[in-house]
Amino acid sequence: MTPDHPFSPIDVLASTLGFLASRDPAMVVLDAEVAENSVLGSFPSDYPQQFVKTGFSERDTVLLAAGLSLSGRNVFVCSQSAFLVPRAYDAIRTAVAIPSLPVRFLLTHSGLTAGADGATLQIIEDLAFLRALPNVSIVVPSDGLSTRKLVEGSFESKGPVFFRLSALPLPGLERPAGLDFHPGGASMLREGDGVTICACGTMVHEALRASAILSQQGIEAEVIDCYSIKPLPAQAITASVRRTGCCVVAEEHNSSGGLGGAVAELLCQSSPVPIKFVSVQDRFGQSGGAEELLEYYGLSFKEILSAVSQAWTMRRR
């Protein structure tokens, strides 16, 4: 499959949800976005009987989603992650996670790249909140194809699924034709025996940029798109680090509780190797353009190169 033009993972939501709604009259989408023009595009007008605009109350939206799910509806909830996760966490836990209801949460505008409005609208700790919940799956797509495939495949899930979606335009990635996407899966984007680079979301693209430079330096990096944060693709990660002897994890998230924490927990129990992290170092966001913020907080291929250099010198061979 060849790369397509850059667009954000949320850009495919309207067409993907429309495809599903046209085939399942029991499907319903709850939109907790406060903006008049939501990320769902023409879906509300195309499928008015399968759409509910809930507005400000994220907690009530989650409770409504739980009730609809119990009544047999296939429910999607669309909301900005910075609003839904902290404001409705108790409702998510008690009404959806504990009974393990198959509600799908489309968490838009996640990470630092949510916009220029500053820390209150940029959430970099949401994965830590959600990873602590039993009975849930968490995925972080890195392009439009993975977003579409994961959303379509979520109908097979028996429990809650959280999609952490970036608003940043991302080019399509080259992947093998017919590749399966599912919670617990991963996508091997580049093979190598020098270092394992585990990345998700926006940082997958930076990891690939770094791997191209490393190859010129004689270090062949194995790049894994760890789009599934929970369950973690444990077999793919451990098999890789046993070949490479070291690991770097890159994510647009705080240094605590995200993909880095999940990979570290896995490897310390099964395959202890030197591991370095490229993430936001325990700080909140601030106002700025998306690219400026990624550069300022050290979320680029340059920091991945530096982390690889440190991990590679300590690797176990």
User: Using one digit for the tens of pLDDT, what is the confidence trace for 257-297?
Assistant: 999 999 999 999 999 999 999 999 999 999 998 889 999 99
> How buried is 134 (Cβ within 10 angstroms: 0-12 exposed, 13-18 middle, 19+ buried)?
exposed
pLDDT (tens digit per residue) in 231-250 = 999 999 999 999 999 999 99
Q: CATH top-level class for 9-164?
A: alpha beta
Q: How are beta strands 247-254 and 275-280 bridged, if at all?
A: parallel
Residue pair 128/214 in contact by the 8 Å Cβ criterion: no
pLDDT value, residue 186: 95
**Rg for the chain (alpha carbons), in Å?**
19
pLDDT value, residue 156: 84
pLDDT value, residue 316: 65
pLDDT (tens digit per residue) in 143-201 = 999 999 999 999 888 999 999 998 888 888 988 777 889 999 999 999 999 999 999 99
Q: Where in the chain is the domain with CATH 3.40.50.970?
A: 9-164
Helix (H) or strand (E) holding 196: strand 195-199
Q: Where in the chain is the domain with CATH 3.40.50.920?
A: 187-312
Sheet with 137-139: strands ordered across: 51-53, 27-31, 74-80, 104-108, 161-164, 137-139, 228-230
- The whole-chain average pLDDT of the chain stands at 92
pLDDT (tens digit per residue) in 157-171 = 899 999 999 888 888
pLDDT (tens digit per residue) in 35-91 = 665 788 889 999 999 999 997 789 999 999 999 999 999 999 999 999 999 999 999
pLDDT value, residue 291: 87
pLDDT (tens digit per residue) in 204-227 = 999 999 999 999 999 999 999 999
Residue pair 195/219 in contact by the 8 Å Cβ criterion: yes
pLDDT value, residue 147: 94
The C-alpha atoms of residue 256 and residue 280 are separated, in whole angstroms, by 9
Q: Please, what's the largest Cα pairwise distance for the chain?
A: 60
pLDDT (tens digit per residue) in 77-126 = 999 999 999 999 999 999 999 999 999 999 998 999 876 778 888 999 99
pLDDT (tens digit per residue) in 13-26 = 999 999 999 999 99
pLDDT value, residue 41: 87
DSSP alpha helices (H): ranges in the chain? 13-23, 43-46, 58-70, 81-87, 89-91, 126-131, 144-153, 203-216, 234-244, 259-270, 290-296, 301-313
Position 10 pLDDT exceeds 80: yes
The answer for residues whose C-beta is within 8 angstroms of residue 313's C-beta and 6 or more apart is: none
Residue pair 225/180 in contact by the 8 Å Cβ criterion: no
Angle between helices 301-313 and 203-216 (to 10 degrees): 60
Residue 255: phi and psi, rounded to 5, are: -70, -15
Q: Which fold is adopted by the domain 187-312? A: Rossmann fold (3.40.50)
